[in-house]
Amino acid sequence: MNARLLLSDGLTFEGLSLGALGTATGEVVFNTAMMGYQEILTDPSYHFQLVTMTYPQIGNYGVNPKDFESRRIYAAGFIIREYSPVVSHWQASKSLDEYLKFYGVVGISDIDTRALTRHLRDCGAQMGMITTSDESAQTLMDRLAKGKQLVGRDLAREVTADAIYDWPLDGEEPPEQPLDFKVAVYDFGVKFSILRALYRQGCKLRIFPAHTPADEVLAWNPDGIFLSNGPGDPEPVDYAVKTVQSLLGKKPIFGICLGHQILGLALGAKTSKLKFGHHGANHPVRHLPTGAVEITSQNHGFIVDADSLPADEVEITHINLNDGTLEGFRHKRLPVFSVQYHPESAPGPRDSRYLFENFVREMKQFNA
């Protein structure tokens, strides 16, 4: 069946339907990873986004039960150049097409993703629509123009857990070391691989919904606070910013992605939207204290403005080598630090897993 991709600036691509039939809207972004589409689709940070894969052939290893980053697909839609109907992997349980249909996610294949990516780089990420409808382009464009927008919308509230729960879930392999630390995780759209990375470092985890008051978290008496990744604009998540402000200095705090941005806002910084965001598993970041370059996995459209951080309180620790944007900072006096990228490496390199070890070290020193 035929499908169409329409962008809010009027550009249209025609291709073939992939996954469910129907219509999906969201912000159109591109991801430069060569693999990991299952982890990308199930990452809650992609909520309300139509994800374009720049690698030309997608689907050849299917999907499997072990590589989910959440309980379902969160990406609003999927855009690829060529779909592989042949699945070849010993762990595969479904094809990508079956997986998208199972969760009712609309996709499109057989379009020029190279041209689409170049357009997004030149004109910026923008709202778009994937549809199998035969309605006129004008009707669809009118609907797109009147639909929900990403900027100014609290997406964290839409993806956070409904209730408090503990990690590990059933079926998780036990870590090689005892669970010596209690970590309270604020769930703004947390990935399972982040929870696994903390768990492997000997952390007993309790996951709290994004709107949980600080007093309720502190009543559990955790050794540390973790601020998770998540989708969208950080500024509407003002309740979390106020909560983090009340937690500063009371426990060690580690933030990733949206958690990094919320922490920055809590310290008085400002955030802004990138032209087309950072999405991929190949972004170079310099660790300023050592000069080492890490190849990182990233997924975000907003950043903390480095110049807005209070220089007398905060030290910049990581810088993006592609565009010079802020990738990490730490407080000079308090056990508080964060990074914009994803050190849990799913999908992506393992260069930055030391950050979880640093968090454990901060908790040890704070308790001592």
47, 279, 342, 362: which one is catalytic? 342
Q: Is the pLDDT of residue 171 over 90?
A: no
Give the pLDDT band (50/70/90) at residue 59: very high
Location of structure tokens 């209070």:
310
In the set 235, 294, 344, 362, the catalytic residue is: 344
Q: What is the per-residue burial (b if ≥16 Cβ within 10 Å, else e) of 144-153?
A: beeeeebeee
* Cα–Cα distance measured from residue 4 to residue 107, given in angstroms and rounded to the nearest whole number: 9
**Annotation says 342 is catalytic:** yes
Q: How far is CA 148 from CA 118, 235, 331, in A?
A: 25, 17, 36
Q: Among the options 203, 257, 278, 283, which is catalytic?
A: 257
Q: Before 222, cis peptide (omega within 30)? A: no
pLDDT tens digits for range 297-332: 999 999 999 999 999 999 999 999 999 999 999 999
Alpha-carbon gap, residue 248 to 169, rounded angstroms = 29
CB atoms inside a 10 Å sphere around CB 23? 19
pLDDT at 175: 83
- pLDDT value of position 18: 98
At 170 the pLDDT is 76
pLDDT digits (tens, 9 = 90+) for 69-88: 999 999 999 999 999 999 99
Summarize the confidence of residues 52-57 as an average pLDDT.
98
Mean per-residue pLDDT for 344-358?
94
- 32 pLDDT exceeds 80? yes
Percent over 90 (pLDDT), the chain: 95
Higher pLDDT, 158 or 170: 158
- Of 173-187, 189-203, 348-362, least confident by mean pLDDT is 173-187
Is 177 a residue whose pLDDT tops 90?
Answer: no
Q: What is the pLDDT of residue 173?
A: 80
Q: What's the pLDDT tens digit per position in 255-285? A: 999 999 999 999 999 999 999 999 999 999 9
- pLDDT mean over 85-94: 95
CA distance 125 to 255: 25
Which pTM was predicted? 0.97
What pLDDT is stored for residue 142 in this prediction?
Answer: 95
Give the integer Cα–Cα distance in Å for 148 and 8. 12
* Rounded Cα gap, residues 44 and 311, in angstroms: 32
Domains and CATH numbers, the chain: 2-146 (3.50.30.20), 156-367 (3.40.50.880)
| Catalytic-residue membership of 344 | yes
